[in-house]
Amino acid sequence: MRIALNARILQAPRTGIGHYVAELATALAGEPDVQLSLFHGWGWSPQLPQTTTPGYSRLSPLLRRVPGAYQARRWLEQKRFDQSRSKAIDLYHEPSLWPLAFEGPTVITLHDLTHLRYPETQPPARLKEIERRLSHAVEQAQLILTDSQFIADEAQQYFGLPAERLRVAPLGVAARFHPREPEAIDGVLKAHGLEHSQYFLCVGTLEPRKNLSLALRAHAGLPESVRQAFPLFIVGMSGWQQAQLNDELKRALAGGHVCLAGYLPDEQVAQLLAGARALIFPSYYEGFGLPVLEAMASGTPVITTRCSAMPEVAGAAGIYCEPDNPQGMRDAMERLIEDRLHWQACREAGLQQAALFSWERCAKVTAHAYRQVLGG
């Protein structure tokens, strides 16, 4: 099977969908009948594009200022993508919301329906594009992959899709996420002024649906001495409407017990996850929630919200609180500090839960979907 996979997102700093594309492409190499061609926006490659730094796209300033610039880039990408005809592609897989035009069979991955559930968390221009394009994308696709059953159920209900057009392909966990001895990560922790198992970690783009305010308020509710001993360390690039957080974040940073690290390389994030007392993942809505799985695989307990797909990923290993209850999250944080046996039980349960997920499994489900669409 000659498969075209749109990998343009890998030119950006990798967040959720970028990691999905990179890990899936790598795992699909283990499927002997899958031959991938990766489209990187301006051409084709058999290999994964290199990740660039924030601000990678030279067109980004134009997209903010010049009417029609986004459509112009899409037009150029479509022209380059049309070279697929000369590459004899059997099937096109679009891992994001908006597939390019393709005359042959198409599979898309629908990661979430944030624009429906929380439209206020999307930039207006992006929301308009999603609303304009997504219904057409769903119609174009012969089969739709989702990361979780939660999103499959939402998509079936919203679009009125028959169940046979949807396949759940749960995400996996990269090899870099595993338990590590304290001395193995001492260098990274010291570089950030941290001590092993003496900090709470948040990972995610700074935007409203990630609900970082809950983590900030929960941490602020801890006694001063506890906050000093267990700071809150936040990793993530700036996102849509971060300004909503600015005042609260500034107050937290000024207190000296919260640190905002910005975007960090993947290996540093993996080491930070392995060294944390717990991952705090307070999101309102996720189609999967990769950091939850990555933390559990690293031997780190997870405090998250009982929302969207998070219970599906964390299972019985997760420590849950309501998304508007900082007191509940504060209590969960405090117990993980004070009760070593509880912390150890959560760690072991997380490792068992994470073992249920793999990128190889995701690739097998995906390859099977390709075969079904192509009649194999």
pTM: 0.90
pLDDT of residue 55: 47
pLDDT mean over 289-298: 97
pLDDT in tens, 64-121: 556 666 677 778 888 888 876 666 899 999 998 789 999 899 999 999 998 888 787 6
Distance from C-alpha of 99 to C-alpha of 92, rounded to nearest angstrom: 9
CA gyration radius, the chain: 21
Pairing type for strands 44-45 and 35-39 reads: antiparallel
Residue 160 CB-density burial (10 A; 0-12 exposed, 13-18 middle, 19+ buried) = exposed
Overall average pLDDT of the 27-53 stretch: 84
> Given a cut of 80, is residue 63 above it in pLDDT?
no
**Residue 184: its pLDDT value, please?**
98
| Whole-number pLDDT of residue 56 | 47
What is the pLDDT averaged over residues 1-20? 88
Kindly list the structural domains of the chain, giving each domain's residue range(s) and its CATH number in brackets, ordered by start. 2-172+358-373 (3.40.50.2000), 182-354 (3.40.50.2000)
Q: Which residue has the higher pLDDT, 288 or 42?
A: 288
In the beta sheet, which residues pair with residue 39?
A: 6, 44
- When the pLDDT of each residue in the chain is averaged and rounded to a whole number, the result is 89
- pLDDT above 70 (res 339): yes
- The confidence band for 244, taking pLDDT boundaries of 50, 70 and 90, is low
- Residue 266 class from Cβ within 10 Å (0-12 exposed, 13-18 middle, 19+ buried)? middle
